[in-house]
Amino acid sequence: PVEKKREQDYEIGELLGRGTFVSVYSAVEVKTGKRLAIKVVDRYRAGKLKKTNDLYMEKHCLRRTNHPNIIKMLAWFSDTLNVWVVMEECLGGELWEVVKTIGCPRNLAHHYLSQLINGCQYLRHARIVHRDIKGENIMLSNLGVLKMIDFGTAKDLENPHIKGSGNQSRHKVFEDYVGTPQFMPKEVIENKFTDFRSDTWSLGCTFFQVLTGLPPFHDKSEYLVFLRIMDMDLKFPPGIDAKAVDLIKRMVAKEADD
């Protein structure tokens, strides 16, 4: 169970990262001396950007999950200004930081990817679709244990009444057009559906990213990225293992049923 805590229970340390409405800090629990990470969400900014539901979707998903390759939420509390999410510490940083520009050696890639597959299999059994798998949403512990994070855009097939914010344009909400453009399959770009096949696509793109340092579909603009995905313009740099190429091609398929 998630413990009831308050800000005074923690000593807040250095800023680890900052987003549009989220800041992440290192912290120490005063009572135990345990090192942690705390995500501080600006409630006003999250509301203004219509992302409050994403916050509660993440809380819901992390309460439902318990797996060594999924980040653990240890406490959750709020005040008038912020929501505080206390999580286990990941000193190894983002997987993306490890692999960017040149990728990583095959043995190390296998070490990371096998863990990512384990986490994804667990989510599939739990009937949770992550919907934004990529190197930036994967953290590493100081021992090299992979942790999937950022469940704000996830979809819980067991509890379809609980929804994230989706993406909004004027008065329309696009419930399935979520994620990161370079890792979106065709059906997501077209806002048709998202399920485990969509996660499989994103997982294949993440495999490519780990091996090469870049996602398979990247270009100068979001529009050009989408064109490459719709045309299945998938190109592999030299030196990638043939078995890895075959696996990625089977995961990153043009049609969801392929």
Task: Express each pLDDT in 130-139 by its tens digit.
Answer: 999 999 999 9
- Contact between residue 94 and residue 139 where contact means Cβ atoms under 8 Å apart: yes
pLDDT of residue 171: 57
Strands 138-140 and 93-94: antiparallel
Give me the pLDDT at residue 164, please.
Answer: 84
What does the pLDDT read at residue 256?
A: 65
Q: Is 67 exposed, middle or buried (0-12, 13-18, 19+ CB in 10 A)?
A: middle
Q: What is the pLDDT of residue 136?
A: 95
Q: What is the pLDDT of residues 161-183, one digit of tens each?
A: 998 877 665 556 667 888 999 99
Compute, in degrees rounded to 10, the torsion defined by CA atoms 209, 212, 214, 220.
Answer: -140
CB 223 within 8 A of CB 214: no
Find the distance separating the first CA and the last CA of the chain, reported in whole Å.
Answer: 40
pTM over 0.85: yes
Burial class (CB in 10 A: 0-12, 13-18, 19+), 169: exposed
Q: Where do the domains of the chain lie, and which CATH numbers do they carry?
A: 7-88 (3.30.200.20), 93-251 (1.10.510.10)
pLDDT tens for the chain, 258 residues: list them: 556 678 899 999 999 999 999 999 999 999 999 999 999 999 999 999 989 999 999 999 999 999 999 999 999 999 999 999 999 999 999 999 999 877 898 899 999 999 999 999 999 999 999 999 999 999 999 999 999 999 999 999 999 999 887 766 555 666 788 899 999 999 999 989 899 999 999 999 999 999 999 999 999 999 999 999 999 999 999 989 999 999 999 999 877 676
CA distance readout (Å), 19 to 45, 46, 256: 11, 11, 32
pLDDT at 5: 76
62 contacts 71 by C-beta, under 8 angstroms? yes
